[in-house]
Chains A and B, each alone.
Chain A
């Protein structure tokens, strides 16, 4: 549960506090309400934990973190988590 998953912002969302990120080809919305610097733009890399961006990171750190997850055997878990986010889906999501 302590996974920190790197993802790249691909587009801003119309919904407040959400951005769409790409993690290993999977695209999901994550919440950016915990980011100290909320100036996020497509192309930025962020570290994701339980649906929230915790910090902006550099591309090198992002790739570092991805490889670390792989080396720890946690990359599948990370992808499962990203795929599992449902909070921004469906008609009731706001």
Chain B
């Protein structure tokens, strides 16, 4: 398996790191955002910050599904869970995400029937097994996960299962990237593109970043060498004065994506006119909802959810961390009131969140201080 070992070979990693050092312009500062939470986790886990020159700044992006979920949507899901006839199901990551009146785990302790599942199909199975109850699936995730929800809804329809619904919080990464590019004060030079999302979407949806904003995008895998190689490719593009989308992760990402998955998305979902993201505010056409023909499986149409917009705790500066203008450790709550055991903001909940990764791997790292420009 020589081929695969290459991605973690220390000599190769050192070579790429050296090549990056040799290539960067010491008079220049580089701000590169890794969009995907999986990349954020890998960067901390492997200590990649330590092998990069000081003038390359890595900005952790919004690609963590629970991290971008606004408190109001957590409350809405929990309002459904409080109904006596409902079993609310969700992925494990959701259980500790705080809503205004507590986390799903705390609601469960108070008697709400909330169950963790590993697949939306498990939620559908639960509905089959409990015809006297209603089973609602709290759906979160980007384009990687949304097709699975779509196929589960199609299966519910095919089997005529009516005591099942989806509380849909699926979001799309591309509109979020555009919102970040349009946000005032944002000075990113390029993007490490999300590898797993691209296995579904292909690379074309990122073309606008290069075409309209003149910023390079390199879709990358999750090995240390993948990420370093992507950074080197971005730096080279910046120096050449060109901007395009490159695919470093070709071994997993088909150029046109997965057409079967995209077709399932298209059949079941439509774009919402607007959706609120934690830290980014409302973004037009950035989230999915069930099409009207699937209304009977849509929890929002079935149950009147409060739909209240809730501000984040004012001391928590999740929004600024999420768009990369504040480093996790510069938030006054970081590591004190807000920690992985008792998260206040969602960035502290998931291992893919910038704050949780920073807490776990780099509490004392140099990144606590701003990088000098």
A residues engaging B (CB < 8 A)? 1-2, 4, 31, 33-36, 38, 47, 49-52, 54-55, 57-58, 60-61, 63-64, 67-68, 71-73, 80-81, 84-87, 89-90, 92-94
Q: Give the distance to chain B from A91, nearest Cβ to Cβ, in Å.
A: 9
B148 and A50 within 8 A (CB)? yes
Residues of A within 8 A of B129 (CB): 90, 92
User: Please, could you name 7 A-B residue pairs with CB atoms under 8 Å apart, sorted by A?
Assistant: A1-B141, A36-B258, A50-B118, A52-B119, A58-B251, A68-B223, A87-B119
Question: What B residues does A60 contact at CB under 8 A?
Answer: 1, 3-4
> A2-B196, A60-B4, A67-B8 are known contacts. Are A51 and B122 too (CB-CB below 8 A)?
yes
Chain B minimum-CB-distance residue to A64: B4
Residue count of chain B within 8 Å CB distance of chain A: 51
- Do residues A51 and B264 form an inter-chain contact, with CB atoms below 8 A? no
Stretch of B27-35, B37-45, B230-238 contacting A (4+ beta carbons < 8 Å): B37-45
Contact B121 A87 (CB under 8 A): yes
B93 and A1 form a contact (CB under 8 A): yes
Determine the residue in chain A with the shortest Cβ distance to B2: A60
* CA of A55 to CA of B256, assembled, Å: 13
- Chain B residue contacts of A49, Cβ below 8 A: 144-145, 148, 196
What residues of A have a CB within 8 angstroms of the CB of B199 in the complex? 4, 47, 54-55
- Are the C-beta atoms of A50 and B119 separated by less than 8 Å? yes
CA gap between A86 and B121 in the complex, in Å = 8
Q: Kindly identify which residue among B46, B92, B260 contacts A1, using a CB–CB cutoff of 8 Å.
A: B92
B140 near A: Cβ within 8 Å? yes
The 6 closest A-B pairs by CB, nearest first: A51-B119, A64-B4, A87-B121, A84-B118, A87-B125, A52-B148
Q: For the complex, give the distance between the alpha carbons of A52 and B258 in Å.
A: 13
On whether the beta carbons of A57 and B45 are closer than 8 Å, the reply is: no
**Distance in angstroms between the alpha carbons of A57 and B249 in the assembled complex:** 13
* Identity of the chain B residue whose Cβ is nearest the Cβ of A49 in the assembled complex: B144
- Chain A residues within 8 Å of B38, by CB: 2
Q: Which residues of B contact A50 (CB under 8 A)?
A: 91, 118-120, 141, 145, 148
